[in-house]
Amino acid sequence: MQLDNFFDKYPRVAIAFSGGSDSAFLAYSALKYAKEVRAYFVKTAFQPEFEYQDAIRFANEYSLDLKVIELDILSEDEVVINPSNRCYYCKKKIFSAISKAVKEDGFKVILDGSNASDDASDRPGMKALEELKVLSPLRMCNLTKDDIRKLSKEANLFTWNKPSYACLATRVPSNVRITKDILDKTEKAEAYLSLLGFNDFRVRYRDGKALIQLVEEQFDLYYQKEDIIKTVLLRDYQDILLDSKPRIKTVGIIE
């Protein structure tokens, strides 16, 4: 199946929109091929501010009808106790909120940006999507992450080389309760490192300490900035640790 064929079959669609490269390309394709499109961004404590701003920017640039849904995810105890399958409960809450709004707006089909590179067997959130009958056109059309980046670059989408970004809750180890304080520290630390020129990295919470994970080519930058990084981050953490194992890059240069 090609995307134009998909939207011929489903001409009125609601899209779960995160502002990331996958959902942005899906929204772009829907605007191109579908008859009616509305996107839904669920704003929770798990999303950093820049994701929200990217979603708003994309909606403004492409005249995407975007609805923002506020969800107090920290009031959901089965999520914040942070079991190993937390993603299942979180996705269930988020997509249930979208489903409610979608029905009120008269749409019957909900789409998400999962692609053919995503391993469904290793993602508890996929189970929630299946239960709620959410369709994943990029996956159904066998489009991989590399395909999406290439096509997004050709379409001049500003999201084409945006690094993959998992929600802030993923920085907290399983079975450690997720709190607003931990999330705020994480967002603040990652925003600061971004200002220093780091990208495609994580700051993970480890029992009061910050564990920084970098792609290999940014280790030199870290050593150059180590003193100021520690000075700033130690305001919120007991210690700053650098993971000696490089992160696998989630974005590369596409010629």
pLDDT tens, residue by residue, 95-130: 999 999 999 999 999 999 999 987 666 567 778 888
Burial of 69 (0-12, 13-18, 19+ CB in 10 A): middle
Once rounded to an integer, what is the mean pLDDT over residues 207-218? 97
Q: 114: domain CATH number?
A: 3.40.50.620
Q: Which residues contact residue 170 at a Cβ distance below 8 angstroms, ignoring those fewer than 6 apart?
A: none
Residue 12 is predicted with a pLDDT of 98
16 part of a folded domain: yes
Residue 189 is predicted with a pLDDT of 98
Asked if residue 71 and residue 16 are part of one domain, the reply reads yes
Residue 30 is predicted with a pLDDT of 98
pTM of the model: 0.91
Secondary element (H or E) of residue 240: strand 240-242
Burial of 74 (0-12, 13-18, 19+ CB in 10 A): middle
Q: 219: domain CATH number?
A: 3.30.70
Asked if residue 24 and residue 76 are part of one domain, the reply reads yes
Asked if residue 16 and residue 79 are part of one domain, the reply reads yes
Helix axes 219-233, 180-195, angle to 10 degrees: 130
36 within 8 A of 64, measured Cβ to Cβ: no
* Mean pLDDT (the chain, rounded): 94
Domain span holding position 217: 179-242
Asked if residue 197 and residue 120 are part of one domain, the reply reads no
Once rounded to an integer, what is the mean pLDDT over residues 74-81? 97
Is residue 68 scored above 60 in pLDDT?
yes
One-letter amino acid of 89: Y
Is residue 253 scored above 50 in pLDDT?
no
Give the tens place of pLDDT for each residue, 15-50.
999 999 999 999 999 999 999 999 999 999 999 999
Q: Tell which of 121, 137, 154 closes a domain.
A: 154
